[in-house]
Structure 1
């Protein structure tokens, strides 16, 4: 089910409020807004809400039988990637970037924000269908840059379907399959990265795949490999 709103503060915040009020929102439900006034990404960054872009949230209830809940960021990334492929003539221009970005020719196309609320994980997704923001620290892109802008509601249906499929695969086949499929859709090993860790500042290295727990493997200049569990990752 997809519920649409003409405007709201944040679809993630709306779902969180409903959960706090005792509303048991079913998995597969999506709340999609035409505009957001308080959308945000990782580290509290504001999220651009250009009219016609996709802005929506869903909910997952992880259980003890599921892989670790933080790897839902990888599940969501694959779902967004698969949904966007249908509107992209050249699949090679789409690449996933750890932990939760979809890139179009090296520029940010979509972002994902996971937030816990009780026994639920709220998954918020923003994707530039029509407009891309002008940001000072990173290039951005929209699907309209490479072809006709997809209809928002059509994209929402495609994403809802792909998310349900990827969630079921995560639960059925486990983390190993997810990691292999995610890496096959990511930029290649050897890609130069800068990782901003709050405790250490900028760490430079090369992408060396994913570790067994879904963390980023960063190969350093001395040949050693470091596991990155959290940080702001930029293509160098």
Structure 2
């Protein structure tokens, strides 16, 4: 399928715009990119800084009978973005952190947001190409700040749309097991110290112990028990 990539100068949120298009019947394969956003957001509604020069884009996935669980689309999106980012950054500098963060030299360089729109899922990408946010509760990175030069957002999206279509096809043919295996091959190493934070602010620390069969995070605690995390924020220690 050839991607239908549309570009606008500014909007509130590409996810909101694409959700409206999805509900109106737009097909899978549509992408919308904005040069800047005034109301970009991440998980839990957190504001997402959207200066020109970075990538802000969203696409539609139409759920079909027999598709694997849609929650795995977060990992599909991460794998597609990893493929493109690693091609620009070189081997070894880009790794995945559960469930869908990309780390460049250990610092967060992107965000992926999935939202439902009727029988479709809207998948939004924010990638720090030219700029990185300051003053957050975690280290952040951009291609430019890491000495790589800032890719052109439009060219980057052409590559991302192609990679996403290929990984989406693999999700439909290989299912959860195949996506889980490929995600683990690109993640930080088993035994990496992590801190997980829930919605109530409580945190748990342990060592990365891979993923369970559903794609949930396995965290090995100090007493040897394994904690399974299905949702929450994860930080490298």
What is the TM-score with the length of structure 2 in the denominator?
0.95
Deviations 1:91-111 (A, max 9, x none): 211011111210101111111
2:104 — aligned with what? 104
2:21 — aligned with what? 18
Distance, in Å, in 2 between the alignment partners of 1:198 and 1:49 is 25
Distance, in Å, in 1 between the alignment partners of 2:60 and 2:135 is 29
Distance, in Å, in 1 between the alignment partners of 2:59 and 2:136 is 30
Distance, in Å, in 2 between the alignment partners of 1:202 and 1:232 is 9
Distance, in Å, in 2 between the alignment partners of 1:49 and 1:32 is 12
2:123 aligned with 1:123: yes
Which sections of structure 2, spanning at least 5 residues, go unmatched?
Answer: none
Contact (CA 8 Å) 1:52, 1:152: kept in 2 or not? yes
Distance, in Å, in 2 between the alignment partners of 1:73 and 1:215 is 12
Task: Give the Å deviation of 1:199.
Answer: 4.4
Contact (CA 8 Å) 2:40, 2:50: kept in 1 or not? yes
Contact (CA 8 Å) 1:88, 1:146: kept in 2 or not? no
Distance, in Å, in 2 between the alignment partners of 1:136 and 1:53 is 18
Contact (CA 8 Å) 2:22, 2:60: kept in 1 or not? no
Task: Give the Å deviation of 1:25.
Answer: 1.6
Task: Give the Å deviation of 1:19.
Answer: 2.9
Which of 5, 30, 35 aligns to 1:2? It is 5
Deviations 1:31-80 (A, max 9, x none): 00000000000011111112110000001112231110001000000000
2:80 — aligned with what? 79
Distance, in Å, in 2 between the alignment partners of 1:96 and 1:185 is 6
Task: Give the Å deviation of 1:85.
Answer: 1.3
Distance, in Å, in 2 between the alignment partners of 1:231 and 1:36 is 25
Secondary structure, aligned partner of 2:92 = helix
User: Structure 1 segments of 4 or more deviating over 3 A?
Assistant: none
2:197 — aligned with what? 196
Task: Give the Å deviation of 1:198.
Answer: 2.1
Secondary structure, aligned partner of 2:37 = coil
2:133 aligned with 1:139: no
Distance, in Å, in 1 between the alignment partners of 2:200 and 2:70 is 24
What are the equivalent positions in structure 2 for 1:201-216 lying under 5 Å apart? 201-216=202-217
Deviations 1:116-155 (A, max 9, x none): 0110000000000110010331111011123121111110
Q: How many residue pairs were aligned?
A: 233
Contact (CA 8 Å) 1:50, 1:132: kept in 2 or not? no
Distance, in Å, in 2 between the alignment partners of 1:140 and 1:5 is 26
Distance, in Å, in 2 between the alignment partners of 1:118 and 1:93 is 37
Contact (CA 8 Å) 1:79, 1:163: kept in 2 or not? yes
